[in-house]
Structure 1
Amino acid sequence: MTARRVHDARAKNYPMATRLAGGRPDGTQFVDGSICHRLLNSTVALVALALLSLTVVISPARAQKQYDPGASDVEVKLGQTMPYSGPASLFGVTGRIMSAYFRRLNEQGGVNGRKITFLSLDDGFSPPKTVEQTRRLVESDEVLAIVGSVGSPTNLAVAKYLNGRKVPQLLVAAGSPKLNNPELLPWTTTFFSSAYVETYIYAQQILKDKPEAKLAILYQDDDFGRNYLNGMKAALRESRVQMVAAAGHELSAPTIESQIANLKSSGADVLLIATTPKFAAQAIRKTYELNWTPMRFVVTPSAIFSVLKAAGADASKGVISSQWVMQAADPEWEDEPAMKEFVAFMQKWAPEEKMDDASATYAYSEAQLIVELIRRCGDKLTRENLLWQATHIEDYQLPLFVPGVKINVTPTSHLGWRQAKVIQFDGQKWAYSTDVETAPETATRSLD
């Protein structure tokens, strides 16, 4: 309204100057120089005063700081649950490296002058424990948001609770397509490629090399493994590929050797290993010991050098996966400036952690993106604004992401990315495909 009043005042003053000056009978107006000068000066002064008033009115509004619980002039408080214990404890490195990244950031002055208080609690990869710890973070610790929690079953266990309270559940490390549901879960976004996207990429490789393949699947019998099972079924449902066998296993099982033996007896010539690192290493090793040589795919969370080392280089040779983030142990990236910076960071801030697998660079990249979102919030550190920033990311290239794999999150698609490069282990390192593979939007949602 103020801007409109200034405009109206100016519109009235200029005709006044014309009327006072007089004019010729033909309608041509004459303006007396001294009168015009005085009127012009008066008008300019009025306009300047009005604009100054407008500035005084608008500037405080622009400068006003807005905070929700967990944010202040000096702090941004974030929460997370992580499997530091239990059967998925290998992924605990994610939380430890993120914590180290925020410690370094705080020593350097924080983000927008605020330090990050990062509360990362152990849930043992147990959904009931995740619920308990998440409620503590929200109701007792009053965090601004939950960020980067690991696991499909664990994140699904708290998604409705967090969305009901309108607490952002951002950049979760989970491949379940159920978490990419802006209609039902508008406060949830992921920092992981959907299992459906990943299996779509594998399916295209199978159709290219073995269009009439016989497929067997080893899967972890929970949301993590079943997402890959269902994703592969969806990707191949209109093809000539036959799924001849599938074998599930419990996360608490000591071994999956009997499942691999049964899958071999099916006559399959393609095997998808859709399980966590411990069992993926066993599966790779057992197929080698049984002299079974199917085309083997290992899901990305288990396509890490620690798994290949545990299985043995000879046993792992030929394994196929997909990748979107660089790995420190991979010679492919050793000369990259971003990798050199990461190695220096690890040596100083997390020297006790292993940097030779994707979990380390993944965690570092996730922390970088969280900081970027907080930076974009400026002084409006509300949950609503943080969510807005997290759902308006376009073609953002993280330094340690494979070149060409970019972050794109929109209000209608909360999946971090749907791109990757196909990789194959040659016995020493991963060999990368030339092109970045992109799954269509239709492959990013659960068909359930």
Structure 2
Amino acid sequence: MQTWVLKLVAIVLALTSLSAISERVRVHGVTDTEIRIGNLMPYSGNLEVFGAIGKAEAAYFEMINERGGISGRKVQFISYDDKSNPVIALELTRRLIEEDDVSLMFGSFGTPGNFAVRTYLNERQIPQLFIASGDDHLSDPSMFPWTMGWQPSFREEGRIYANYIQAFYPRSRIVALWQNDQVGREIIKGLEDGLGNVARMIRVDIAYDMADEHLDTHVSILKQSGAEILVFAGAPENAAKVLQIAAELNWHPLFIFSHMASSIATALRPAGLENAVGVMTAAFLKDANDPAWKDEQAKKDWQSFVDKYSRAGGKDDGAAVFGYAAAETLVQVLKQCGNDLSRENVMKQAAALKDYQGSVLLPGIKISTGPWNFRPIKHLRLIQFDGRTWQPIGDVLETAFSNVDR
């Protein structure tokens, strides 16, 4: 009898141990000492400039690890180059999930690549968090409950530009030059929606390809229209060329650049800062070049990050702030998870941010999410370049997403 009891106890203990092991195995990408996070960036190719965001995120996690990590766990940030190719993005995502065993995907850049991997990740219930894209279709929890955006909507950004034009330049002639991709189309669509019945004020509307070698011709045509306002939505490299060409043609409209085109380091400075004076854009992050806010930061933290970012090859100040802010948001979510780092709880906490004030968000801009609110940042502020830094115009502006369930 005693032997039988001992055998029964042994069986129960064995089953309990197997259950514990099984529970641990189900928390993919997490151990007692590590959290594995996957990411895709264009470190080469036409959009290589945005790979600097991934370098910034890597530098931020390195800084976090040096301070003990998150609840004693170090972040292993595994970031691959997808060359902005959706086919490569899907291949590399499979590798990250099936071979590298990451817990979640975070901050991957671009609309096409994130579209390409969205179904794969949602079918496997793997978080696709804080995407570096403002496409509205990447923030739809009713269709894709494991996919969440981060930055403001591209289309809402376009509407904000339209509202500003209507308020301060109601009879001005407008022209638009935009990159023929999802980003350009969404911003210009928002511009047209915002202008409504006066969209006819857009005299000329030119879409160009990323490798277009005829920007000089496009800008010349736009000048000939007699327009007073040029709205540009495209890559920073082409934004710089547009400013240079306009200066050579002695054409000085009000330049309104999309947020992604407005980097001081990769757009305005290469064009010549004197040619960039007066450029407007919409922002939600602080300007790394503005000394006014650096004293508000824990200077040691920021300088530690910048040193690591520079050593990683980062040169774009805008990307530094973007990557810092996005990674900081993810760290907040992981801290809220406590010791339950299951994929289910990660998504639950990502959808439970309440007026979170990231350290590099502009004053008045906070992050809030909810079960039906997968657009964390829903505010923008218009700013204008004065030749040295960006100056705010008016108040923080709400987008349509501000009215969804919080």
1:114-141 CA distances to partner (integer Å, 9 max, x unpaired)? 1211110000111111111111112222
1:276-425 aligned at under 5 Å gives the runs 276-306=235-265, 307-338=267-298, 341-348=301-308, 350-351=310-311, 353-354=313-314, 357-425=317-385
1:111 aligns with 2:70: yes
Q: Displacement of 1:258 after TM fit? A: 1.7
Residue aligning to 2:185: 226
Letter of the aligned partner of 2:28 in structure 1?
P
Bigger-Rg structure (1/2): 1
SS at match of 1:248: strand
- The alignment covers a number of residue pairs equal to 382
**Distance across 2 between alignment mates of 1:66 and 1:239:** 59
1:180-228 CA distances to partner (integer Å, 9 max, x unpaired)? 2111121111121111121122112101111233221111111121111
Residue aligning to 2:107: 148
SS at match of 2:320: helix
1:266 aligns with 2:225: yes
**Distance across 2 between alignment mates of 1:355 and 1:393:** 31
Residue aligning to 2:401: 441
The verdict on how the C-alpha distance between 1:104 and 1:191 changes in structure 2, with shifts beyond 3 A counting, is same
Q: Please give the TM-score of this superposition, normalised by the length of structure 1.
A: 0.80
Letter of the aligned partner of 1:419 in structure 2?
H
**Distance across 2 between alignment mates of 1:286 and 1:386:** 48
Letter of the aligned partner of 2:307 in structure 1?
Q
SS at match of 2:333: helix
SS at match of 2:175: strand
The verdict on how the C-alpha distance between 1:413 and 1:341 changes in structure 2, with shifts beyond 3 A counting, is same
The verdict on how the C-alpha distance between 1:65 and 1:414 changes in structure 2, with shifts beyond 3 A counting, is same
Residue aligning to 1:79: 38
Residue aligning to 1:212: 171
Residue aligning to 1:22: none
Letter of the aligned partner of 2:346 in structure 1?
L
The verdict on how the C-alpha distance between 1:80 and 1:379 changes in structure 2, with shifts beyond 3 A counting, is same
Determine if contact 1:213/1:241 at 8 Å carries over to the other structure.
Answer: no
Letter of the aligned partner of 2:284 in structure 1?
W
Determine if contact 2:162/2:192 at 8 Å carries over to the other structure.
Answer: no
Identity %: 34
Structure 2, unpaired ranges of 5+: 1-19
1:157 aligns with 2:116: yes
1:56-67 aligned at under 5 Å gives the runs 67=26
Q: Please give the TM-score of this superposition, normalised by the length of structure 2.
A: 0.88
1:262-316 CA distances to partner (integer Å, 9 max, x unpaired)? 2222332221110011111111221222222222101111211111111111211
1:379-428 CA distances to partner (integer Å, 9 max, x unpaired)? 21111111111111121110111111111222212112121221111122
1:13-50 CA distances to partner (integer Å, 9 max, x unpaired)? xxxxxxxxxxxxxxxxxxxxxxxxxxxxxxxxxxxxxx
Residue aligning to 1:432: 392
Residue aligning to 1:196: 155
Determine if contact 2:177/2:207 at 8 Å carries over to the other structure.
Answer: yes
Which of 161, 167, 173 aligns to 2:126? It is 167
The verdict on how the C-alpha distance between 1:442 and 1:386 changes in structure 2, with shifts beyond 3 A counting, is closer
**Distance across 1 between alignment mates of 2:303 and 2:222:** 40
The verdict on how the C-alpha distance between 1:167 and 1:356 changes in structure 2, with shifts beyond 3 A counting, is closer
Residue aligning to 1:101: 60
SS at match of 2:256: strand
Letter of the aligned partner of 2:328 in structure 1?
Q
**Distance across 2 between alignment mates of 1:161 and 1:256:** 38
**Distance across 2 between alignment mates of 1:135 and 1:356:** 30
Determine if contact 1:212/1:240 at 8 Å carries over to the other structure.
Answer: no
**Distance across 1 between alignment mates of 2:172 and 2:140:** 33
Letter of the aligned partner of 2:289 in structure 1?
A
1:129-188 CA distances to partner (integer Å, 9 max, x unpaired)? 111111111222221110000111221221222112211110011011111211112111
**Distance across 2 between alignment mates of 1:72 and 1:333:** 38
1:231-280 CA distances to partner (integer Å, 9 max, x unpaired)? 21122224465222211121233452222122222332221110011111
Q: Displacement of 1:67 after TM fit? A: 4.9
Q: Displacement of 1:73 after TM fit? A: 2.0
**Distance across 1 between alignment mates of 2:280 and 2:362:** 17
Letter of the aligned partner of 1:290 in structure 2?
L
Name the Cα RMSD after superposition: 2.2
**Distance across 2 between alignment mates of 1:245 and 1:339:** 47
Which piece of structure 1 moves more, 342-351 or 202-211?
342-351
The verdict on how the C-alpha distance between 1:338 and 1:437 changes in structure 2, with shifts beyond 3 A counting, is farther
Determine if contact 1:85/1:124 at 8 Å carries over to the other structure.
Answer: yes
Determine if contact 2:118/2:128 at 8 Å carries over to the other structure.
Answer: yes
**Distance across 1 between alignment mates of 2:370 and 2:206:** 36
Determine if contact 1:131/1:157 at 8 Å carries over to the other structure.
Answer: yes
Residue aligning to 1:29: none
Letter of the aligned partner of 1:227 in structure 2?
E
Determine if contact 2:156/2:187 at 8 Å carries over to the other structure.
Answer: no
Residue aligning to 1:44: none
Determine if contact 1:189/1:414 at 8 Å carries over to the other structure.
Answer: yes
Structure 1, unpaired ranges of 5+: 1-60
SS at match of 1:406: coil
Letter of the aligned partner of 1:230 in structure 2?
K
**Distance across 1 between alignment mates of 2:313 and 2:288:** 12
Which piece of structure 1 moves more, 82-91 or 348-357?
348-357
